[in-house]
Structure 1
Amino acid sequence: MKLWLGIAVVVLASLFVASGVAAITRGWVVPWNRRRVSRPGLHGCGQLVLAFGLYWQALFAWVISDPGARAWGSLAGSAILLAGVIVLLPAQFMSGDRGAGR
């Protein structure tokens, strides 16, 4: 992995962590997702799982030199990313208390 691409992945994952922690602790969601997200805590958990998947893939791309282990690590990171997306979906489609007062 190129250094600039790895740095971009780590920065993106760090932004997911910050946004996920803000959603879990304060119920804050970025402005372009506020209309769609009905459960901010669940949305924040999904963002944390996505960030973990990105960190996992960056770790295996930079640290592991064995091609077989690198491939399995990348596959595991992709599975973690998919799990994060699966956690994010119910946060958008389940009815929650965010729109109850409107």
Structure 2
Amino acid sequence: MAWVVGTGAFFGLLAITGGIVTLRTGWIPPMARRHVTRPQLHGLGALLMGASLVLQGLFYFRVLPSVSWEARFFGGNALLFGGLLLIALSQLLPPRRNLDHADPSGV
């Protein structure tokens, strides 16, 4: 069971790294570039999902003080589904329009 949690924590660290890179530079992984219209939401969603996975690993390996299983369950699910919602919104919302460049004719 420890290898499953360790693998999840590793993927959580990768998601956190990807979220930080997306927030700082706007870079999106190639498999999601075509779909993402708002990189900031995508980066925040990746951070939340990664934090959920890493926290579950830290609780399992007793790095953090133990809390009740209800707090771990509902807190982890809230972070995970919140991140999933942000990633979905980053792909479903229309792209923002810059009003300064909306009319190139200058009229």
Matches within 5 A, 1:24-35: 24-35=23-34
Identity of aligned residues (%): 26
Distance in 2, Cα, partners of 1:65 & 1:53? 16
**Aligned twin of 1:38:** 37
2:41 touches 2:86 (CA, 8 Å); kept in 1? yes
- Which secondary structure does the structure 2 equivalent of 1:32 belong to? coil
Return the offset for 1:5. 1.3
1 or 2, which has the higher helix percentage?
Answer: 1
**Aligned twin of 1:85:** 84
| Gaps in structure 2 of 5+ consecutive residues | 97-107
TM-score (norm 2): 0.77
Return the offset for 1:59. 2.4
| Gaps in structure 1 of 5+ consecutive residues | 98-102
TM-score (norm 1): 0.81
Number of aligned residue pairs: 95
Aligned-residue CA RMSD (Å): 2.0
- The structure 1 segments of at least 4 consecutive aligned residues displaced by more than 2 Å after TM superposition are 59-62
Greater gyration radius: 2
Give per-residue Cα distances to partners, 1:32-85, cap 9 Å, x unaligned.
10010011111001000111111222223232797x813431232012101111
Return the offset for 1:89. 1.5
Distance in 1, Cα, partners of 2:53 & 2:82? 12
